[in-house]
């Protein structure tokens, strides 16, 4: 404990500034070793992504090359991300080239037109991001899907990444009753795919977009082989209306999900096709107010991104904004207000932190920790810099992180992800700065971290994260 006393003096001053969680019960030592010569996985340049219901596209100027704020929020996360357009609404959408666009819930039909696609195209070209587009398998036809696919391809050009046919095809509700088993679904999928390929011979496809049925995903992988672009799967921690929709459920590990990721990784490796969690967020049903829209979502998001990367996942699409029920989801990292002005919510800061440290290679590391809910990851994007992302999801105890510096690494600096409390819905700060009203964010100066006997030591307060930069 003595070796952390000089750090605790600085921490006490920071607590008094009002940008630090309440004082913890104690500081527990956590020791980390990094092996810079062993790579666990390579993090894809388009790992980060956002996901929208198709009804978002149906709204005039929702996506626009003139929306400087939303464009900036995207650019903060990088210039190689992926937008997924689809969700439940994709199976209740009709494309009418010159029709009047209208956004509806899943109970009615959403109409998109040529102008909507042009708006989206202008937006993605301004950001550099690409698009995964979902087509209507639920209530549409192969011919209508082919017409829509051609229009999307013409509008997006190089910004189109792939098509998906259907959404959560493994569920047993609504139109999914048409598909009592995988073979029934797959025969319909093939009919749609054939019609689209007749019009677009080079069309790329991802799928099967399951909510959770690994047997269907594995069967799809066997049938499609390497002709598929990505295998796709969804994830939510639990339902928004269940008793489990709590701070604790987000902060604590989900062993079932980690086991499933191991299975997904095996399926992906066996068929030689990467997998992506292309619809994901805290609690399905739009999230839970007072939990999904608080600072806890930033920590959950950041840790979940690294959990996915450590299992070889090629990326995520965080579901956002207007959902299939017609309201703005509480879990949304980015939202439009009624005046169509965009702003970032706490979860966005988890994405932003990953955009800084989640680059290049995920390195092998080990963590010697007491009974403390702390996770830490090591990444290296280039020579001479290693990032340590340490996330303390413990609700009451601070961690004294000790990182043994790899050979020739001599210096350490730290940036922090903090908020006044775990329940904060604003005043979140990353590297000393908030995202401004016009979408801009710029890092403040880092703290210098003492290094003695080849070890960097830093306090990681409860319900906070640190980005530790190691340099030669």
pLDDT digits (tens, 9 = 90+) for 371-407: 999 999 999 998 889 999 999 999 999 999 999 999 9
Which pLDDT band holds residue 61 (cuts at 50, 70, 90)? confident
Distance CA 359, CA 355 (A): 7
Distance CA 211, CA 169 (A): 7
**For residue range 411-433, what is the model confidence (pLDDT) as tens digits?**
999 999 999 999 999 999 999 99
Which pLDDT band holds residue 2 (cuts at 50, 70, 90)? very low
**For residue range 246-261, what is the model confidence (pLDDT) as tens digits?**
999 999 999 999 999 9
**Three-class DSSP category at 160:** strand
Which helix (H) or strand (E) element contains residue 114? helix 114-127
For residues 321-336, average pLDDT: 94
Give yes or no for a contact between 302 and 389, defined as CB atoms under 8 angstroms apart. Answer: yes
- What's this model's pTM, rounded to 2 decimal places? 0.94
Which pLDDT band holds residue 25 (cuts at 50, 70, 90)? low
Please report, for residues 119, 375, 386, 429, the alpha-carbon distance to residue 465 in angstroms, rounded to integers and kept in the order given: 37, 9, 16, 11
Which helix (H) or strand (E) element contains residue 239? strand 231-239
Superfamily of domain 2-42+360-471: Golgi alpha-mannosidase II (2.60.40.1180)
Confidence check: pLDDT of 15 > 70: no
Quick one: pLDDT at residue 11? 43
Paired tokens of 60: 């005039």
> Which of 271-275, 283-287, 380-384 is the least confident region?
380-384
Quick one: pLDDT at residue 178? 67
Give yes or no for a contact between 135 and 200, defined as CB atoms under 8 angstroms apart. Answer: no
Quick one: pLDDT at residue 1? 39
Distance CA 12, CA 452 (A): 22
Q: Locate tokens 């509008």: which residue?
A: 155
Quick one: pLDDT at residue 245? 98
- Give me the helices (H) in 246-328, please: 247-251, 255-271, 295-310
Quick one: pLDDT at residue 6? 39
**For residue range 117-155, what is the model confidence (pLDDT) as tens digits?**
999 999 999 999 999 999 999 999 999 999 999 999 999
**For residue range 229-241, what is the model confidence (pLDDT) as tens digits?**
999 999 999 999 9
Quick one: pLDDT at residue 382? 84
For residues 17-24, average pLDDT: 42
**Three-class DSSP category at 294:** coil
Distance CA 25, CA 276 (A): 39
Give yes or no for a contact between 16 and 409, defined as CB atoms under 8 angstroms apart. Answer: no
DSSP string, 4-66: GHHHHHHHHHHHHTT-SPPPPS-EEEEEEEEEEEEEEEEPPTT--EEEEEHHHHTSTTSS-TT
Quick one: pLDDT at residue 174? 52
Question: Of 167, 168, 164, which Cα lies nearest the Cα of 207?
Answer: 164
Question: Of 28, 20, 165, which Cα lies nearest the Cα of 466?
Answer: 20
Give yes or no for a contact between 305 and 344, defined as CB atoms under 8 angstroms apart. Answer: no
Paired tokens of 239: 């339902």
Confidence check: pLDDT of 52 > 50: yes
Quick one: pLDDT at residue 177? 53
Distance CA 363, CA 359 (A): 11
DSSP string, 392-415: E--SS-EEEEEEEPPTT--EEEEE
Quick one: pLDDT at residue 294? 98
Q: What angle do CA 469, 70, 381 make, to 5 degrees?
A: 25
Please report, for the chain, the start and end positions of each structural domain, with discontinuous segments joined by +.
2-42+360-471, 49-357
Q: Which CATH number is 49-357 given?
A: 3.20.20.80
Q: Locate tokens 């819930």: which residue?
A: 105
> What is the rounded average pLDDT for all residues in the chain?
93
For residues 24-38, average pLDDT: 88
Q: What angle do CA 137, 141, 145 make, to 5 degrees?
A: 75
For residues 41-66, average pLDDT: 96
**Three-class DSSP category at 471:** strand
Confidence check: pLDDT of 172 > 80: no
Confidence check: pLDDT of 96 > 60: yes
- 142-156 helix and 182-199 helix, angle to the nearest 10 degrees: 50
Quick one: pLDDT at residue 249? 96
Give yes or no for a contact between 93 and 139, defined as CB atoms under 8 angstroms apart. Answer: no
Which helix (H) or strand (E) element contains residue 469? strand 464-471
The answer to whether the bond into 208 is cis (omega within 30° of 0) is: yes
Q: Are strands 455-460 and 451-452 parallel, antiparallel or unpaired?
A: antiparallel
Greater model confidence, 336 or 430:
430
How many of the other CB atoms lie within 10 Å of CB of 159? 17
């Amino acid at each position: 404990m003595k070796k952390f006393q000089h750090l605790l003096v600085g921490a006490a001053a920071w607590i008094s500034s009002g940008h630090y969680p309440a004082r913890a019960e104690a500081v527990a030592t956590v020791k980390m070793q990094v092996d810079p010569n062993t790579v666990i996985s390579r993090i894809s340049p388009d790992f980060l992504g956002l996901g929208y219901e198709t009804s978002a596209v149906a709204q005039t100027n929702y996506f626009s090359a003139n929306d400087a704020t939303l464009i900036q929020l995207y650019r903060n996360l990088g210039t190689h991300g992926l937008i997924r357009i689809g969700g439940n609404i994709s199976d209740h959408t009709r494309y009418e080239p010159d029709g009047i666009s209208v956004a509806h819930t899943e109970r009615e039909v959403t109409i998109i037109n040529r102008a909507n696609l042009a708006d989206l195209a202008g937006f993605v070209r301004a950001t550099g991001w690409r698009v995964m587009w979902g087509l209507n398998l639920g209530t549409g036809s192969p011919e209508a899907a082919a017409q829509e696919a051609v229009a999307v391809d013409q509008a997006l050009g190089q910004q189109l990444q792939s098509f998906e046919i259907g959404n959560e095809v493994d569920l047993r509700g609504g139109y999914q009753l048409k598909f009592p088993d995988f073979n029934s679904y797959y025969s319909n999928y093939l009919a749609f795919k054939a019609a689209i390929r007749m019009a677009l011979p080079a069309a790329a496809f991802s799928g099967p977009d399951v909510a959770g049925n690994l047997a269907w995903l594995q069967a799809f992988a066997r049938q499609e082989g390497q002709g598929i672009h990505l295998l796709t799967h969804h994830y939510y921690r639990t339902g928004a209306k269940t008793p489990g929709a709590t701070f604790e459920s987000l902060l604590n590990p989900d062993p079932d999900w980690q086991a499933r990721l191991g299975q997904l990784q095996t399926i992906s490796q066996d068929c030689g096709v990467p997998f992506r969690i292309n619809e994901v967020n805290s609690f399905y049903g739009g999230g839970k107010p007072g939990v999904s829209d608080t600072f806890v979502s930033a920590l959950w998001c950041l840790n979940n991104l690294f959990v996915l990367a450590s299992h070889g996942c090629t990326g995520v699409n965080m579901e956002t904004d207007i959902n299939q029920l017609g309201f703005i989801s509480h879990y949304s990292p980015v939202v439009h207000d009624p005046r169509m002005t965009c702003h970032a919510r706490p979860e966005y800061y988890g994405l932003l932190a990953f955009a800084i440290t989640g680059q290049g290679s995920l390195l092998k590391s080990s963590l010697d920790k007491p009974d403390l809910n702390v996770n830490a990851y090591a990444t290296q994007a280039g020579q001479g810099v290693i990032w340590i992302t340490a996330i303390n999801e413990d609700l009451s105890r601070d961690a004294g992180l000790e990182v043994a510096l790899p050979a020739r690494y001599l210096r350490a600096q730290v940036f922090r992800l903090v908020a006044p409390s775990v329940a904060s819905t604003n005043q979140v700060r990353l590297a000393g700065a908030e995202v401004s009203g016009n979408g801009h964010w710029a890092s403040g100066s880092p703290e210098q971290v003492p290094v003695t006997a080849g070890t960097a030591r830093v306090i990681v307060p409860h319900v906070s994260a640190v980005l530790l930069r190691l340099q030669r």
